[in-house]
Amino acid sequence: MEKQMSTLICFALKEEAAPFRKIAAGNAATAQAKILITGIGRQNTEKSVREFLTANSPELVLTCGLAGGLNPDLKHGEVVFELAGPAANDQKLVANLAAAGAKPVKFFCADHIATTVAEKKALRDETGADAVEMESAVIHAICRERGIPCAIVRVISDTASEDLPLDFNALSKSDKNLDYGKLFLAIAKSPGKIGALMQLQKKTKLAAEKLAEVLAKITFP
């Protein structure tokens, strides 16, 4: 039997990780796959990953979770990936990801959530990226320092043609986490947004489940 590679799988939020955690709990190879909840954004992610690596030496790091679509061709629930550092020429990993149903793309790592169609189009025009997220650049940088192969594997939660129902940047605390007080106030001011928020919650849950399926295929072959 082929030796199982030790893998660190990073998610910003526990909700993004929940479906994969459920699958991993029933797999005998779970000991080789460590899940790390980093928090949202560069600062939280850098602190969490550096702390983990002081006591652990994974052979592969995956930066996972939700991503916004910038390429109009990407659909909700599509799992996409990009390799970096020592993993960039890992044809076996590319083949495994493709066989699991993931599509190669170019990511842009932003410092805030892209919430509108107009902003997504501007990012697409400026960067040429296909998808946007907020944590992977710093994870790549840390892995590059240590010579650890690293790959982004994420799922499209909102497409290039979709506005998010609220500006979640304005509803975030200084540490990038959601301020529920601000959220409840925003909903009270715009109760018509409740339906769209519930739909977004449903779609992100389904997207996280799609991502979990792909991660399980490449982590527990």
Angle between helices 194-219 and 91-99 (to 10 degrees): 130
Question: In whole angstroms, what is the distance from residue 61 CA to residue 148 CA?
Answer: 7
pLDDT at 7: 94
Helices 41-53 and 136-146 cross at an angle (nearest 10°) of 30
pLDDT of 2: 44
> Could you say which DSSP state residue 96 is in?
H
Per the model's pLDDT, the better-predicted residue between 206 and 172 turns out to be 206
169, 219 Cβ separation under 8 angstroms: no
Q: Spell out where 49-145 has E strands.
A: 60-69, 79-84, 103-104, 107-109, 131-133
Read off the pTM. Answer: 0.91
Summarised one tens digit per residue, pLDDT across range 27-85 is 766 678 899 999 999 999 999 999 999 999 999 999 999 999 999 999 999 999 999 87
| Predicted local distance difference test score (pLDDT) of residue 46 | 97
Let me know: does 20 contact 212? Beta carbons within 8 Å.
yes
Helix count (H) and strand count (E) of the chain? 7, 8
> How would residue 3 be classed by pLDDT, with cut points 50, 70 and 90?
very low
> Mean pLDDT throughout 121-146?
96
**161: which residues sit within 8 A by CB, 6+ positions away?**
72, 117
- Percentage of the residues of the chain whose pLDDT score is greater than 70: 96
- pLDDT for residue 29: 64
Q: Which of 21-25, 75-79, 90-94, 179-183 has the lowest mean pLDDT?
A: 179-183
Residue-wise pLDDT tens digits, 185-194 = 988 888 888 8
- Top-confidence residue, 115 or 171: 115
Contact between 154 and 102 under an 8 Å Cβ cutoff? The reply is: no
